[in-house]
Amino acid sequence: MAVYNAPLDDMRFILNDVFKAENFWQNNENLAHVDLDTVNMILEEMAKLSKNVLLPLNRTGDEEGATYQGDGVVTTPAGFKEAYKQYAESGWIGLGGDPEYGGQGFPKMVTMLTEEMVFTTNQSFALYPNLTVGATLCMLASASEEQKQTYLERMYSGEWSGTMCLTEPHAGTDLGIIKTKAVPNDDGSYKISGTKIFITGGEHDLTDNIIHLVLAKTPNAPEGSKGISLFLVPKFMVNEDGSLGERNTLSAGSIEHKMGIKGSATCVMNFDEAKGWMIGEENTGLASMFVMMNYERVTMGLQGLGGTELAYQNAALYANDRGQGRSDTQLQSPEKPADAIVHHADVRRMLLNARANSEASRCFAMYVAKNLDEQKFSTDPEAAKAAAARVALLTPIAKAFLTDKALEATVDCQQVFGGHGYIREWGMEQIVRDTRIAQIYEGANGIQALDLLGRKIARNEGKYMQNFLAEIRDFVANMQADHAIKQATLDAADTIEELTKTVMANIGQRKNEINGCAVDYLHATGYLCYSYMFAMMVEAANGKEGDFYTNKAKLANFFVGRILPRIDAHAQMVKAGSDPMMDFELSYFEVPAS
Amino acid sequence: MAVYNAPLDDMRFILNDVFKAENFWQNNENLAHVDLDTVNMILEEMAKLSKNVLLPLNRTGDEEGATYQGDGVVTTPAGFKEAYKQYAESGWIGLGGDPEYGGQGFPKMVTMLTEEMVFTTNQSFALYPNLTVGATLCMLASASEEQKQTYLERMYSGEWSGTMCLTEPHAGTDLGIIKTKAVPNDDGSYKISGTKIFITGGEHDLTDNIIHLVLAKTPNAPEGSKGISLFLVPKFMVNEDGSLGERNTLSAGSIEHKMGIKGSATCVMNFDEAKGWMIGEENTGLASMFVMMNYERVTMGLQGLGGTELAYQNAALYANDRGQGRSDTQLQSPEKPADAIVHHADVRRMLLNARANSEASRCFAMYVAKNLDEQKFSTDPEAAKAAAARVALLTPIAKAFLTDKALEATVDCQQVFGGHGYIREWGMEQIVRDTRIAQIYEGANGIQALDLLGRKIARNEGKYMQNFLAEIRDFVANMQADHAIKQATLDAADTIEELTKTVMANIGQRKNEINGCAVDYLHATGYLCYSYMFAMMVEAANGKEGDFYTNKAKLANFFVGRILPRIDAHAQMVKAGSDPMMDFELSYFEVPAS
């Protein structure tokens, strides 16, 4: 069975040494109630729960999968129900929820660490509470007071779960063309009709009720994304006293058979004049959904981090145990027929790729989380605005770069196992399969890249990026540590500054330039972000005694020498632009359909 | 269902225009019997068989998988038996076999193309005949005349199949520590005892007999890889008249449950004093195995090519069909709610990554195949020797680089499908899962890289590489075409020349340098090889009329601008060397086992 020990020391290093969380909280009256002792206890509790309850269900959940029983009934794999009950009753779902409605009010800097542990030990399981949290964020921002009063507490407590119903068979990335209809009833409610697909947790056996947040079009709504409204559509009606009433006319038609996250029920949901209530104003549905998207997209980055962390720990254990060949340095285990493969530099290269990704991902997610918290809780409007700009810039990177690097890292760790990595029993191939989805859903990574280069860079003429580069240079200029990461980070910042100018000039020249350069631009900036994170980690470790701290500097050396050089390749590819793709006639891509 | 149309035009372009196969054959008396009309017929026949028979079994084979029925009985998925019968009776297994024993004597330049089609349409199925071909190559090189007479014809005809039994639970990469024993009997045969794992086609229901080639140690054999002998161990004894005799004491103990290639039976084989006969001389078993390794490793590259080709064709079809958003160039389908995603530059980037990989892979495999044929069939000993040197240098690249790039390409094509790429029904995720194994087996890609940098570069002081670079520069100097690929290829050659000098100097300084730099060195040289292939394709297309030829130049443009820049990143990472990995104490990689 897979091993996992929550990297609590690394988490505390990021929280306390790098980001000085307690200072941050104490200097903000809206967060002054958060104390480090409680946070430590929370982390330790989740370390136990994730290891002892969620991890043991990870492989069995993959083998059994969620099951469609017919007649709209979906069951989760054995053990999920009990684990969910324990998870919900311990209050994890409402950890970051609004105290006004029964939540515990912890900042994202804390919940991101608990979410990491859940994603590390069981990606399928993680999605059930995670979608509920997403739905509550959306409702908190846009729902009426009555709606909040009726639903939030039961969702925070885990009695009810939530979904987000966006995608339709013909409309995924392009939500402007959805067909689901919402026809008003006389009582202010709506009749919702349509088919939604890829609905995570659309139906299951974990909760008494499921609250669907559904995008639909009202009669005569404007075409495209400006004519989309958001509706709350419960599986069971809720009576005035909070008890459950009649069953709504919606049901799961089937579930998908997928590459991975098999324990997560991905449903086709049929709404047949189901009763629903509008959330927020008419035709503002997409905006309401996007309120919580920044949170969710960082969370998908955490899924990548989780996959990386589990893959790393198990690959490192295997590399210490498996003997093949002899160390190039010196004979290590003369009493055995072979030395452990952890002595081979190439095996270390794969392990360190993963570990560097894990540590940089966690640091970057925390950096974004801190800015999310600043944006949400700061009493200084200017500070909140600056934080919001950083969040806007960095969210697509947090989602796409972290998950793209995570696939590489999990594949590397699988490779450490040789042939055993391909065998289900060892669990490594499941991590690869599970992690792969994070590059696709919640806005495919190519879409994240368009968001970065189109909305966050081109639309404001690179201003967010200029501010970010200034911050990075300022940080490096003030570093006490003497380390190669300083010059490397400054060079990376120069690369991105020049690249941003070049690509913006090219965007003015070529219609397809944003679309054709976005992914490589995102990757180039992703390496800059990681470099900045390693600079922060080196600085936080500087002058402190013990291997734990000196190893932070060593991992940064590995990053500078063996990972960061890729930034130049991506920059060169961006400069080559979109012409090499658009030069082809459409017919070049034609393939006979049979 | 997945689509596939064999890219016969591309294959003929490589065979005729790029490598001028007919000239090559006619100028070599051992190959003068090969004529282009027959070859064309062969390609067309395989195009039909692979599309009509093998492709329809690809997904059903994945869903059902090979099954262990207990008592050593293994069954292949429904339809495999009938398909195998048709495949064998059409003579495909003996296509490249020695005519002296019933083979058809076609060169690798032809069989690589038929193998590509089989791997494209059904990776699991492909392995059954493929392992048999591998076993016959090994026997042809090392077995006695009597052994050849007894076995080869039945193996070429597909009546009997072959396996290679190398790996043991504790010994994969490091075969020197195998434990399987071979104790001599009085009659010249041996009693073979031991357990072998990961035996592809170790047991199945396709053939009457299975001929296992087994590595084992004789009593008092020297330690390590110098004390390994090779044995022929049939499932059923063969009587003098060629009929089958008693069952040998060997059996499959179980089969593995894997990430992919589920239709291929991967067996644990138990040999319990099974009767076997030595092949070749005592203690030369590894050398005998390696005779066929060059052929097999190129073939694994073809598996990568096949995965890429199937993924590309289906992604291109989907990109033409799926509408999301609008083209940045101009409105394309005003009558529809959205334009086809093939108009988006980023979708084209992913498609072209795959197509460039497919075309460069095929060209490179053909280049290596031509050298394999030159080595095997040339009547000029000097030419054969030069070809053998090229084969030695390029084989690890053909195996590892092609399969590493194939995983990227299949993941890119899966990404084109968005959420549907993750759903089993669409077949894309299977291509990713199936293709992944090719990076692992037949010598994991890290081991290929060690072979390249350790044996093929460092051991002869870079001589093979110098010759290869001279050939590339000579080719470019003589090109008539005017294209960016010329300068790009010369630059890439300079990069590799300088890198090779640097890494050889570093190897003298640091014990772990080969191990720590091998993979990135292999990737850097792989991009040079692809660049050389695109130069050849551009030159072959130069001056010819029609989109087919001008598109070859356009694809080379895409390669130069959007793929080749990675060579510099890998070169920089090689220069950073092994110290960033070896600086860590062993304890850094320790993970608690529970």
**What SS3 class is residue A169?**
coil
**A437 contacts in B (CB within 8 Å)?**
422
Our separate counts of H helices and E strands in chain A read: 19, 11
Instruction: State percent of chain B over pLDDT 70.
Output: 100
Give pLDDT, residue A320.
97
Query: Which helix or strand (DSSP H or E) is residue A231 part of?
Result: strand A229-234
| pLDDT at A293 > cutoff 80 | no
Q: Contact, A350 vs A557, CB < 8 A?
A: no
Give the pLDDT of residue A527. Answer: 98
Render pLDDT for B372-400 as a digit per residue (tens, 0 to 9).
Answer: 999 999 999 999 999 999 999 999 999 99
Chain B contacts of A583, Cβ < 8 Å?
554, 557
Closest-CA residue to A430 (of A444, A408, A414, A415)? A414
For residue A287, count other CB atoms closer than 10 A to its CB: 16
pLDDT digits (tens, 9 = 90+) for B420-442: 999 999 999 999 999 999 999 99
Spot the catalytic one: B153, B309, B429, B442.
B442
Torsion of CA B383, B389, B391, B392, to 10 degrees: 160
Cβ–Cβ below 8 Å for A3 and B593: yes
Structural tokens at position A126: 């993680």
Instruction: Give the mean pLDDT of A63-91.
Output: 98
pLDDT of residue A214: 98
Average pLDDT over chain A, rounded to an integer: 97
List all residues of chain B from 464 to 523 with a beta carbon under 8 Å from chain A: 511-520
Output the pTM of the full model: 0.98
> In this complex, which of A174, A350, A588 lies closest to B551 when CB atoms are compared?
A588
Reduced to 3 states (helix: H, G, I; strand: E, B; else coil), residue B161 is strand
Q: What is the pLDDT of residue B594?
A: 81
For residue A51, the 8-state DSSP code is I
The percent of residues in chain A predicted with pLDDT above 90, rounded, is 97
Letter string b/e over residues A118-128, b meaning 16 or more CB atoms within 10 A of that residue's CB:
bbbbbbbbbbb
CB contact under 8 A, A352 and B580: yes
Q: What's the whole-number mean pLDDT along residues B443-455? A: 97
β A190-200/A266-279 pair status: antiparallel
Q: Which residue has the tokens 């639970």?
A: B169
Q: What is the pLDDT of residue B513?
A: 98
pLDDT digits (tens, 9 = 90+) for B109-132: 999 999 999 999 999 999 999 999
B343 contacts in chain A (CB < 8 Å)? 586
| CA-wise closest residue to A307 among A116, A530, A527 | A116
Residue B503 CB coordination number (10 Å)? 24
B514 to chain A: which residues are within 8 Å by CB? 328
Length of chain A: 594
B105 CA: distance to closest CA in chain A (Å): 33
- Choice among A203, A296, A309, A442 that is catalytic: A442
φ, ψ (nearest 5 deg) of residue B208: -75, -25
Chain B CB contacts of A439 under 8 Å are 415
- Report yes or no: A344 at the B interface, CB cutoff 8 Å: yes
A202 touches A212 (CB < 8 A): yes
* Confidence (pLDDT) at A466: 98
Sequence-separated (6 or more) residues with CB below 8 Å from residue A142: A230, A279, A280, A284, A288, A291
Q: How confident is the model at residue A75 (pLDDT cuts 50, 70, 90)?
A: very high
Burial per residue of B410-440, b for 16 or more beta-carbon CB atoms within 10 angstroms, e otherwise: bbbbbbbbbbbbbbbebbbbbbbbbbbbbbb
Beta pairing class for A160-165 and A181-184:
unpaired
- Whole-angstrom distance, CA of residue B362 vs CA of residue B368: 10
In angstroms, what separates the C-alpha of B437 from chain A's closest C-alpha? 7
**What are the chain A neighbours of B565 within 8 Å (beta carbons)?**
568-569, 572-573, 576
Cα dihedral sign for B321, B323, B326, B328? negative
| Chain B residues lying within 8 Å of A423, measured CB to CB | 256-259
The predicted structure's pLDDT at residue B85 = 98
CB contacts under 8 A, B 432-451 vs A, are: 432-433, 436-437, 439-441, 444-446, 449-450
Taking an 8 Å cut-off on Cβ atoms, the answer to whether B259 and A432 are in contact is yes
Nearest to A111 by CA among A297, A302, A390, A290: A302
Mean pLDDT score, A573-586? 98
The pLDDT tens digits for A498-536 are 999 999 999 999 999 999 999 999 999 999 999 999 999
Tens digit of each residue's pLDDT (9 = 90 or more) over B225-266: 999 999 999 999 999 999 999 999 999 999 999 999 999 999
What is the CA angle B455-B456-B462, rounded to 5? 120
Residue A261 corresponds to which amino acid? I
Task: Report the alpha-carbon distance of residue B144 to residue A14 in Å, rounded.
Answer: 66
As a three-state string, the secondary structure of A401-465 is HHHHHHHHHHHHHHHHCHHHHHEHHHCHHHHHHHHHHHHCCCCCHHHHHHHHHHHHHHHHCCHHH
Tokens of B213: 């080639």
Q: Hey, how many other C-beta atoms are within 10 angstroms of the C-beta on A184?
A: 13
Select the residue of B256, B337, B592 nearest A423 (Cβ to Cβ).
Answer: B256
Strand partners, B336: none
Q: What is the mean pLDDT of residues B184-198?
A: 98
| Residue tagged 């290269």 (tokens) | A349
Contact B515 A345 (CB under 8 A): yes
Q: Do A429 and B557 touch (CB under 8 A)?
A: no
**Residue-wise pLDDT tens digits, A236-250:** 999 999 999 999 999
B316-345: string of b/e by CB count within 10 Å (b at 16+)?
bbbbbebbbbbbbeeeeeeeebbbbbbbbb
Who contacts A529 (Cβ-Cβ below 8 Å, separation ≥6)?
A364, A394, A397, A401
Query: A73: helix, coil or strand?
Result: strand
Closest CA to A91 of A45, A36, A149: A45
- In this predicted structure, the answer to whether residue B593 has a pLDDT above a threshold of 90 is no
What's the token pair of residue B301?
């590259």
Q: Is A71 left (phi over 0), alpha (psi -120 to 50) or beta?
A: left
User: What is the least distance, in Å, from the CA of B167 to any CA of chain A?
Assistant: 10
Asked if B185 has any chain A CB less than 8 Å from its own CB, the reply is no
Core vs surface per residue B169-188: b (16+ CB within 10 A) or e: ebbbbbbbbbebbbeeeeee
Q: Check if A419 contacts B (Cβ < 8 Å).
A: yes
pLDDT in tens, B315-366: 999 999 999 999 999 999 999 999 999 999 999 999 999 999 999 999 999 9
The pLDDT tens digits for A255-274 are 999 999 999 999 999 999 99
Q: Which of A421, A516, A565 sits opposite B440 (nearest CB)?
A: A421
Rounded to the nearest angstrom, the minimum Cα separation between B435 and chain A is 11
What is the pLDDT at residue A294? 76
A392 versus A593: the higher-pLDDT residue is A392
State whether A337 and B177 contact (CB < 8 Å). Answer: yes
Of the residues B197, B550, B588, the best mutation for testing chain A's interface (the one with the most A CB atoms within 10 Å of its CB) is B588
Tokens representing B29?
A: 């008396």
Could you tell me how many CB contacts below 8 A there are between chain A and chain B?
296
Contact A586 B259 (CB under 8 A): no
**Opening angle at CA A13, ends A7 and A17, nearest 5:** 175
Beta bridge pairs of residue B82: none
The answer to whether residues B140 and B98 touch, using CB atoms and an 8 Å cutoff, is yes
Q: Which of residues 23-62 of A touch B (CB under 8 A)?
A: none
Q: Which residue in the set B172, B425, B557 is minimally distant from A257, CB to CB?
A: B425
Q: CA of B57, closest CA in chain A: separation in Å?
A: 16
Compute the nearest-CA separation of B582 from chain A (Å): 7
Give the Cα separation of A230 and B492 in Å (integer).
Answer: 54
Chain B CB within 8 Å of residue A124 CB: no
For residue A348, which residues of chain B lie inside 8 Å, CB to CB? Answer: 516, 581-582, 584, 589
Q: What average pLDDT does this structure show over B557-571?
A: 98
Separation of CA A378 from chain center: 24
* Gap between the Cα atoms of A145 and B329, Å rounded: 46
Q: Catalytic: A442? A: yes
DSSP B340: B
A552–B contact, CB cutoff 8 A: no
Residue A585's SS3 state is coil
Task: Give the percent of chain A with pLDDT over 70.
Answer: 100
Is A258 in contact with B444 (Cβ distance < 8 A)? no
Q: How many angstroms separate the CA atoms of B545 and B423, rounded? A: 42
What are the tens digits of pLDDT across the range A166-201? 999 999 889 999 999 999 999 999 999 999 999 999
Report ipTM (2 d.p.): 0.97
pLDDT at B218: 98
Q: With bands split at pLDDT 50, 70 and 90, how would you rate the model's confidence at B450?
A: very high
